Structure 1
């Protein structure tokens, strides 16, 4: 980095993205960097796909708070994008939350945390507003409620925190979209997770990351603790299917998610068992209402469903077959 770049960075607001190699972490790094922020990207592994001049990398575990604070003693914003897999939430969620609180408090930063709809329990209502009561009737709901309560308590000791609640992510890998809904798209099949007429809350990651930036730019207007909802994209299974058909340029078959088969396989897979417990999200209509966010930022524009889903579709060239992964790890024509 040259002297001119260092001078610009010294005058720019700064953000520490914890978990910068994850889905939201990568999107947040790109969005803050594009907006001119000095970005410190923390991750356990080195490197980043698209490095920029105003991105610095910090390789360490998020629980190594001493090392992080030695490298970043002061920062304007901390984005908590660390998310252990479901099977390790019991052991990792509490210490991770404690570490993130310590980092944000010591660096005198606004802590920004992505929330989800788990807090509302298995019987979540169709419209989720900021004042909709939490219901701890699932393990994940209880864990997320406890996490948010610990954040609220920490604000009484000087932490500044805002939670931005959003729906299921569109983008990246390891999501319902790439692992289930579009997994057989090359074969001309869309997997439907539940009844195809139920509204479902989605968040396109590039859009959500830009909202993080816009809220961060208004950090001085926020109270010590705030929860806002990002409405994102509300779309039913039928609407997702139609968008994928339009992007593919051909009719696609609908296949129901084989939940019973998954339950049988889940006997041998802790991760799959944990995922199956979230089935209720596909059996309950729900959407997020974002009045507080709109009051802070004004009109919120979102990408179209088609644009959000575009990366999941590979349209063949003339004469080209769709390619699918085979069980042997080789690729073959279909």
Structure 2
């Protein structure tokens, strides 16, 4: 029987568990909180993914380890390195395919649709942490120490994703002005959390996918304004008015909210077209994105 270890029980970790449903497999959810007990067909291993000994025990005999951990953004510099090192060690000892969920920050500002072969050139310290995680895993893969792959997703949409859309839903549902940030009329790729899970499973279980990064299969780009209108329609509410917070105000809010304070550093993602190219995922892994109407229905909890 296959054995899969999922680190993190947020929206993406749960999406992986759902994507594994139907396989003859043991599925273990790792979290410090012990969450995830509500997911059928899984068992929970409560502990710290940065604890190499704990992870080695949990991952013994595993087919794949899915890194869906999500440290607080303002703690990436301190929290990510020990988790990454622990999971590399666990994958090396167990023979599991280390399958990491990442994002697009490390690419830096784009001038065209992003491909998984684009260089990781961002100079932002937090982006460099993610780039280093991939380079270290890839180096270990190329040495033959382990097998590794990475799936990079754009900004999330989906129930429980803690996305900007989820935060705006209460305003949208009441017909009030939705407060967001960036240029609401720029095209942007939004990755459905369910499709993140499907892509991670496909990459982990397809030998040809190992040793390289992939982009999560993603619907066609859409503006924030149009997505908010789609969400409103699904809720039976009128298309909302939209207000975008300026960077100056975001910086001021950042004095009391570290997460909000980080947004101006990556404002380029929301001030110009920010689009990913997932053609290789569709062609080589045989995936298609979930229909947009289903994404919207899930995002509003329908």
Q: Is TM more than 0.5 here?
A: yes
Question: What is the aligned partner in structure 1 of residue 233 from structure 2?
Answer: 246
Question: What is the aligned partner in structure 1 of residue 3 from structure 2?
Answer: 14
Partner Cα distance (1:138, 1:43) in 2: 28
1:229·1:288 contact (CA, 8 Å) conserved in 2? yes
Change (3 A) 1:242 1:255: closer
Structure of greater Rg: 1
Is 1:194 aligned to 2:182, yes or no? yes
* Segments of 4+ moved more than 4 angstroms: none
Question: What is the aligned partner in structure 1 of residue 134 from structure 2?
Answer: 148
Is 1:178 aligned to 2:173, yes or no? no
For residues 81-119 of structure 1, the C-alpha deviation after alignment (integer angstroms, 9 at most, x for no partner) is: 112111111111111111110111111011111121101
Question: What is the aligned partner in structure 2 of residue 86 from structure 1?
Answer: 73
Deviation at 1:30, TM superposition (A): 2.2
Partner Cα distance (1:67, 1:142) in 2: 27
More displaced 10-residue stretch of structure 1: 40-49 or 104-113 = 40-49
Q: Which residue, out of 122, 125, 131, partners 1:136? A: 122
**Aligned positions, number:** 297
Deviation at 1:194, TM superposition (A): 2.6
Q: Which residue, out of 224, 229, 251, partners 2:215? A: 229
Unpaired segments of 5 or more residues in structure 2?
none
Q: Which residue, out of 277, 287, 297, partners 2:275? A: 287
Q: Report the 3-state secondary structure (helix = DSSP H, G, I; strand = E; otherwise coil) of the residue aligned with 1:163.
A: strand
1:162·1:227 contact (CA, 8 Å) conserved in 2? yes
1:230·1:288 contact (CA, 8 Å) conserved in 2? no
Question: What is the aligned partner in structure 2 of residue 272 from structure 1?
Answer: 260
- After superposition, the CA RMSD in angstroms is 2.2
Is 1:42 aligned to 2:30, yes or no? yes
Partner Cα distance (1:71, 1:249) in 2: 46
Partner Cα distance (2:149, 2:33) in 1: 27
Question: What is the aligned partner in structure 1 of residue 296 from structure 2?
Answer: 309
Partner Cα distance (1:311, 1:221) in 2: 31
Q: Report the 3-state secondary structure (helix = DSSP H, G, I; strand = E; otherwise coil) of the residue aligned with 1:182.
A: helix
Change (3 A) 1:120 1:183: farther
Report matched runs for 1:69-84 at 5 Å. Answer: 69-84=56-71
For residues 160-190 of structure 1, the C-alpha deviation after alignment (integer angstroms, 9 at most, x for no partner) is: 11111111111214322222x4341133133
Partner Cα distance (1:282, 1:266) in 2: 18
Deviation at 1:216, TM superposition (A): 2.8
Partner Cα distance (2:105, 2:191) in 1: 15
Partner Cα distance (1:270, 1:214) in 2: 35
Give the TM-score of the pair, scaled to structure 1: 0.81
Deviation at 1:15, TM superposition (A): 0.7
